[in-house]
């Protein structure tokens, strides 16, 4: 558990948690661009997926911020994705929120290295 992440943990209210929750919880951190990032992580919940959502008040997180978050929650050699679902399955509960997903049970197929 990165110290920076634990220091930003929300401890009170409906999304409050403590260190016993591990990577699961709600966190508020100053990101690499100086913007306050609101983060919700499901941790390892038995669903076969790890999930982290990231939002800002006035804009969507940028690439640099999402890479920074990815590195807080997963090792650099892990493949983590951001999905763009079909419009018929898209649910938008927060206009400035992006999500990162990692399959726990199945390795993601990846294109050839020259393409990524």
Q: What is the pLDDT of residue 30?
A: 97
Three-state secondary structure of the chain? CCHHHHHCECCCCCCCCCHHHCCCEEEEEECCCCCEEEEEECCCCCCCEEEEEEECCCCCCCHHHHHHHHHHHCCCCCCCECCCCCHHHCCCCCCCEEEEEEECCCCCCCCCHHHC
Q: Is the pTM of this model over 0.75?
A: yes
Q: Looking at residues 93-99, what average pLDDT do you find?
A: 88
pLDDT tens-place string over residues 17-71: 999 998 999 999 999 999 999 999 986 667 789 999 999 999 999 999 999 999 9
């Amino acid at each position: 558990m990165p110290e920076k992440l634990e220091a930003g943990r929300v401890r009170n209210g409906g999304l409050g948690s403590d260190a016993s929750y591990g990577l699961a919880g709600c966190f508020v951190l100053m990101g690499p661009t100086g913007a306050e990032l609101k983060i919700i992580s499901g941790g390892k919940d038995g669903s076969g997926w790890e999930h982290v959502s990231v939002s800002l008040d006035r804009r969507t997180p940028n690439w640099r911020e999402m890479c920074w978050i990815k590195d807080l929650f997963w090792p650099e050699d892990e493949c983590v994705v951001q999905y763009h679902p079909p419009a018929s399955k898209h649910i938008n509960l927060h206009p400035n929120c992006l999500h990162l997903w990692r399959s726990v049970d199945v390795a993601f197929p990846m294109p050839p290295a020259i393409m990524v």
